[in-house]
């Protein structure tokens, strides 16, 4: 994995799609935590989650104390995360999804507050490229909130639409979820200095956007 940021306390890597973060979330032999550990030659401590299908910025702490500090920063809303997603449909140009969700994997659990801001970046006929930044951290929040808007993510086998996923597999060769963690921005828990970490869009997603634009369907929101 490409290392996007590293100092004595934190490391950020560019996680590929298809790789789980932690063995606690998967039974895979290889997970991002062990890959990062082997690359760095030291233990790493997960401080947030990316779904297996999501690529992009993944942050680890390099000590238990820093992991605790980072968990507190996430809980307090001091960490800004941004994503790019391709969705079915054309959502409003920008807005806030304020829709409570179960906090974990149990769909019958009591729902808690969940909020995601979004901005429509580009339209390709019946599909849209959307930037999203979750204000809370519920399981599958971005994916569930876009489904709530009737704009499910392309490649999402849990919350998406099979016919659209098949179209993108067959026509464009997309065999993954179109969700990429583009940026994490936070005050460093030791120094207070702003840390701004950016992951370039995964190659296969960039190629898809190029193909969609070549089809002549692209249009951007008016300035």
Mean pLDDT taken over the chain: 93
Q: At residue 106, does pLDDT exceed 80?
A: no
Average pLDDT over residues 9-23: 94
Residues in the chain: 223
Tens of pLDDT, residue by residue over 63-89, are 999 999 999 999 999 999 999 999 999
Tens of pLDDT, residue by residue over 22-31, are 876 556 678 9
Using 50, 70 and 90 to split pLDDT, how confident is the model at 129?
very high
**Of 105 and 184, which is predicted with more confidence?**
184
Q: At residue 99, does pLDDT exceed 80?
A: yes
Which of these, 84, 81, 111, 87, lies nearest to 99 by C-alpha position? 111
Q: Is the Cβ–Cβ distance between 120 and 220 less than 8 Å?
A: no
pLDDT the model gives residue 109:
85
Q: At residue 223, does pLDDT exceed 70?
A: no
Residue 15 to residue 36: CA distance in whole angstroms: 10
Average pLDDT over residues 130-150: 95
Residue 120 to residue 45: CA distance in whole angstroms: 34
pLDDT the model gives residue 50:
94
Tens of pLDDT, residue by residue over 165-204, are 999 999 999 999 999 999 999 999 999 999 999 999 999 9
Active-site pick, 9, 14, 51, 156: 51
Using 50, 70 and 90 to split pLDDT, how confident is the model at 215?
confident
What DSSP string describes the chain? -EEEEE-SSEEEEEEPTT--S-GGG---S--HHHHHHHHHTS--EE-S---TT-EEEEEEESSHHHHHHHHHHHHTT--EEEEEEEEES---SEEEEE--B-SSS-TTSPPB--EEEEEEEEEETTEEEEEEEESS--TTHHHHHHHHTT-PBTT-TTTS-HHHHHHHHHHH---S--EEEEEEEEE-TTT--EEEEE-PPPHHHHHHHHHHHHTT-EE----
pLDDT exceeding 90 applies to what percent of the chain? 86
pLDDT exceeding 70 applies to what percent of the chain? 95
pLDDT the model gives residue 29:
76
pLDDT the model gives residue 197:
98
Tens of pLDDT, residue by residue over 185-196, are 999 999 999 999
Using 50, 70 and 90 to split pLDDT, how confident is the model at 103?
confident
Residue 172 to residue 202: CA distance in whole angstroms: 15
Concerning whether 51 is annotated as a catalytic residue, the answer is: yes
Q: Which domains does the chain have, with CATH numbers?
A: 2-219 (3.30.2350.10)
pLDDT the model gives residue 218:
65
């Amino acid at each position: 994995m490409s290392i996007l940021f590293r100092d004595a306390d934190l490391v950020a890597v560019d996680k590929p799609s298809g790789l789980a973060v932690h063995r606690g979330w998967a039974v895979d032999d290889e997970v991002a935590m062990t890959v990062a550990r082997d690359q760095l030659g030291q233990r790493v401590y997960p401080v947030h989650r990316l779904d297996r299908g999501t690529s992009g910025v993944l942050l680890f702490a390099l000590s238990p104390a820093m992991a605790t500090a980072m968990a507190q920063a996430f809980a307090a809303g001091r960490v800004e995360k941004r994503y790019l997603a391709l969705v079915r449909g054309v959502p409003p140009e920008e807005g806030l999804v304020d829709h409570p969700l179960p906090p974990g994997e149990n769909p019958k659990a009591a729902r808690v507050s969940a909020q995601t801001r979004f901005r429509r970046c580009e339209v390709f006929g019946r599909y849209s490229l959307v930037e999203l930044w979750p204000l809370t951290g519920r399981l599958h929040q971005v994916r569930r909130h876009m489904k709530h808007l009737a704009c499910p993510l392309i490649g999402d086998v849990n919350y998406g639409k099979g016919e659209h996923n098949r179209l993108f597999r067959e026509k464009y060769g997309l065999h993954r979820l179109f969700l990429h963690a583009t940026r994490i921005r936070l005050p460093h828990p030791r120094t207070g200095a702003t840390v701004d970490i950016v992951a370039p869009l995964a190659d296969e997603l960039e190629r898809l956007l190029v193909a969609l634009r070549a089809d002549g369907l692209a249009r951007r929101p008016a300035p």
